[in-house]
Amino acid sequence: MTSITLKSSIAGLNGEISVPGDKSISHRSVMFGAIAHGETSVSNFLPGDDCLSTISCFQKLGVKIEVEKDSVRINGSGFEGLKEPNEILDVGNSGTTIRLLMGILAGRPFYSCLHGDASIGKRPMTRVTKPLKQMGAAIDGRETGQYTPITIRGGNLTAINYQLPVASAQVKSALLLAGLQAEGKTTIIEPQATRDHTERMIRKFGGEVSTAGREISVKGGQKLTASVINVPGDISSAAFFLAAGAIVPNSKLLLKNVGLNPTRTGIIEVLQQMGAKIEIIKQDSNSFEPVGDILVEASKLTGTVVEGELIPKLIDEIPIIALMATQAEGKTVIKDAEELKVKETNRIDTVVHELSKLGASIEATTDGMVIYGQTKLGGGTVSSHGDHRIGMMLSIAALLCQGEVILENHEAISVSYPNFFTHLHHLIQ
Ligand code: S3P
């Protein structure tokens, strides 16, 4: 574990950047490339640790994949082309890799074992293993399939109708990927709308998926065909600079080519709700995932309530929203967000603990947090706890701090934003 001293009390942030490719879409581009027939080419792929874990797992499953910077070529031979791996599949820190991969492997007639880092070892898997077992896969893990290592012997799946107990795109996607290999039509009912990248990918690779309200259905036995994917910039990475642009005095930032899928734009809604000067320019809604450029300026923010249907649209942005709330006028309440407890860290605890160290007035609740605004932040030693989004949030917090801030375990940031500090330094005045 290493630490760095962060820039504090800066004069402002100015300029433009293109944030790296979307993590969720990058993972799926490799997975769909692997299960489709033919050569898929991907540009603006995110070469972060999580997506590299996905590539390495599929290489161990016998798929030929070439990577050159942010371009990837995948030679897929359909689900049938996947081979029994002779090594353990290491997913590193990546929840998306393990959960979606389980859906794919549930339909494959061979044995595989999935494992990850210490954080993955604490994250709940029953939400995926339970319905996959119901479909007919033989799956086990610690505590009867709750924790890694997870073993799977798949094959002969039968479609199910399944009401998701939690609003999770990872679980929905795992079941859609299993459903594509099952006998019959699989229907998933979501409690709230979650990111729909998997549905868009199925269509992009020539498959069919139907959606009616909160119900998503897919028929088994479909043949997917290779495609060309240009990954939009990640709005969850852009969020750190959107927030920084709004809360660091004298800032003006242009973020180019950001993904604007409506299931992901909750952060923009919250910035608007809080009164930020934010504008979407040059929007392209015609590509398979909408994109646009976003302009943000230093603004006077007011506290807000973040809850309900909005939560899945910004679940990964809550740490940075908490930081924005420390600078807003009045109180901000975040609720209905228990899912934060089972992310890369318990993000209710880590956000409250680390921001408190810097002088924020913030309290944990059972399903979120309450933040009192207009606090002056001091300095001190903080830690990412190995969680990329906590590391980036604290790096932005430091810009406002009066004293020196030392960030421990900053290397976790490479999970989703390998050139985060290069971009940050480029924008600092
Ligand atoms: C993701 C879904 C979300 C999100 C994660 C990526 C995806 O997780 O937090 O970073 O790519 O499907 P849940 O499905 O667990 O909510």
Q: What is the predicted pLDDT for the residue at 221?
A: 97
Q: Is the shortest distance between the CB of 414 and ligand 1 below 6 Å?
A: no
Q: Is the shortest distance between the CB of 170 and ligand 1 below 6 Å?
A: yes
Q: Is the shortest distance between the CB of 93 and ligand 1 below 6 Å?
A: no
Q: Is the shortest distance between the CB of 169 and ligand 1 below 6 Å?
A: yes
Q: Is the shortest distance between the CB of 29 and ligand 1 below 6 Å?
A: no
Could you write out the DSSP letters of every residue in 381-400?
Answer: EEE-TT-HHHHHHHHHHHHH
**CB contact at 8 A, 292 and 284:** yes
Q: What does the block give as tokens for 278? A: 């934010």
Please state the rounded mean pLDDT for residues 336-344. Answer: 98
Q: Is the pLDDT of residue 286 over 90?
A: no
Q: Is the shortest distance between the CB of 96 and ligand 1 below 6 Å?
A: yes
CA of 313 to the centre of ligand 1 (A): 10
Q: What is the predicted pLDDT for the residue at 8?
A: 86
Q: What does the block give as tokens for 243? A: 């927030």
**CB contact at 8 A, 292 and 281:** yes
Please state the rounded mean pLDDT for residues 75-96. Answer: 98
CA of 401 to the centre of ligand 1 (A): 31
Handedness of CA 365, 367, 372, 378 (dihedral sign): positive
Helix/strand/coil for 283: strand
Q: Is the shortest distance between the CB of 239 and ligand 1 below 6 Å?
A: no
Q: What does the block give as tokens for 184? A: 């019959």
d(CA 344, CA 97): 13
Split at pLDDT 50, 70, 90, the class of 283 is: confident
CA of 250 to the centre of ligand 1 (A): 34
Q: Is the shortest distance between the CB of 315 and ligand 1 below 6 Å?
A: yes
Q: What percent of the chain has pLDDT over 90?
A: 97
Please give the angle made by the CA atoms of 156, 102 and 233, to the nearest 5 degrees: 130
Q: Is the shortest distance between the CB of 195 and ligand 1 below 6 Å?
A: yes
> Looking at ligand 1, which residue's alpha carbon is closest to its atom 10?
316
Q: Is the shortest distance between the CB of 127 and ligand 1 below 6 Å?
A: no
Please state the rounded mean pLDDT for residues 326-342. Answer: 98
Q: What is the predicted pLDDT for the residue at 49?
A: 97
CA of 347 to the centre of ligand 1 (A): 14
Q: What is the predicted pLDDT for the residue at 413?
A: 98
CA of 97 to the centre of ligand 1 (A): 10
Could you write out the DSSP letters of every residue in 200-257?
Answer: HHHHHTT--EEEETTEEEEETTPPPB--EEEPPBPHHHHHHHHHHHHHSTT-EEEEEE
Q: Is the pLDDT of residue 123 over 80?
A: yes
C-beta neighbour count of 105 within 10 angstroms: 33
Catalytic-residue membership of 316: yes
- pLDDT tens, position by position, 42-53: 999 999 999 999
d(CA 151, CA 118): 17
Q: What is the predicted pLDDT for the residue at 87?
A: 97
Q: Is the pLDDT of residue 130 over 80?
A: yes
- pLDDT tens, position by position, 31-45: 999 999 999 999 999
CA of 137 to the centre of ligand 1 (A): 23
- pLDDT tens, position by position, 373-425: 999 999 999 999 999 999 999 999 999 999 999 999 999 999 999 999 999 99
Split at pLDDT 50, 70, 90, the class of 287 is: confident
**CB contact at 8 A, 79 and 37:** no
Q: Is 86 exposed, middle or buried (0-12, 13-18, 19+ CB in 10 A)?
A: exposed
Q: Is the shortest distance between the CB of 415 and ligand 1 below 6 Å?
A: no
Split at pLDDT 50, 70, 90, the class of 429 is: confident
Split at pLDDT 50, 70, 90, the class of 282 is: confident
User: Which of 101, 315, 343 most suits a substitution to test ligand 1, by most atoms within 8 Å of the C-beta?
Assistant: 315
- pLDDT tens, position by position, 213-236: 999 999 999 999 999 999 999 999
Average pLDDT, the chain: 97
> Looking at ligand 1, which residue's alpha carbon is closest to its atom 9?
316
What is the side-by-side order of every strand in the sheet holding 291-297?
Answer: 14-18, 252-259, 291-297, 277-284
Q: Is the pLDDT of residue 55 over 80?
A: yes
Q: Which atom of ligand 1 is nearest to the CA of 173?
A: 12
> Looking at ligand 1, which residue's alpha carbon is closest to its atom 11?
24
User: Which of 96, 190, 309 most suits a substitution to test ligand 1, by most atoms within 8 Å of the C-beta?
Assistant: 96
Split at pLDDT 50, 70, 90, the class of 167 is: very high
> Catalytic: which of 50, 90, 293, 316?
316
Handedness of CA 201, 156, 193, 365 (dihedral sign): negative
User: Which of 49, 119, 168 most suits a substitution to test ligand 1, by most atoms within 8 Å of the C-beta?
Assistant: 168
Q: Which atom of ligand 1 is nearest to the CA of 167?
A: 16
Q: What is the predicted pLDDT for the residue at 100?
A: 99
Q: What is the predicted pLDDT for the residue at 9?
A: 84
| E strand residue ranges, 299-419 | 305-306, 331-334, 361-365, 368-372, 380-383, 405-408
Burial 286-321 (b: 16+ CB within 10 A, else e): eeebbbbbbbbebbebbbbebeeebbbbbbbbbbbb
